[in-house]
Amino acid sequence: MTEINPYIFRAYDVRGKVGIDILPEVFSEVGRAYGTLVRRRGGRTVAIGMDNRTTSPPLKEAFAEGMLSTGLDVVDIGVNHTPLLYFAVAHWRLDGGATVTGSHNPVSDNGVKMVHAEAAPLREEEIQGLLATIRAGDFERGPSRTERFPTICPIPRWKRTCATSWPRWWRRGPTWGSPTTVTRIAWA
Paired with 50 in beta bridges are 79, 100
Name the phi and psi angles at 16, rounded to 5: -175, -170
Cβ(185)–Cβ(161) under 8 Å?
yes
Q: Of 28, 56, 69, 103, which one is the catalytic site residue?
A: 103
Paired with 76 in beta bridges are 48, 151
| Alpha carbon distance 184, 188 (integer Å) | 7
The set of residues, in sequence order, having a beta carbon less than 8 Å from that of 171 and lying 6+ positions away, is: none
Name the phi and psi angles at 4, rounded to 5: -125, 130
Q: How far is CA 119 from the centre of its chain?
A: 9
DSSP classification of residue 61: H
Name the phi and psi angles at 122, rounded to 5: -70, 140
Cβ(39)–Cβ(109) under 8 Å?
no
178 is catalytic: no
Q: Which residues are catalytic?
A: 103
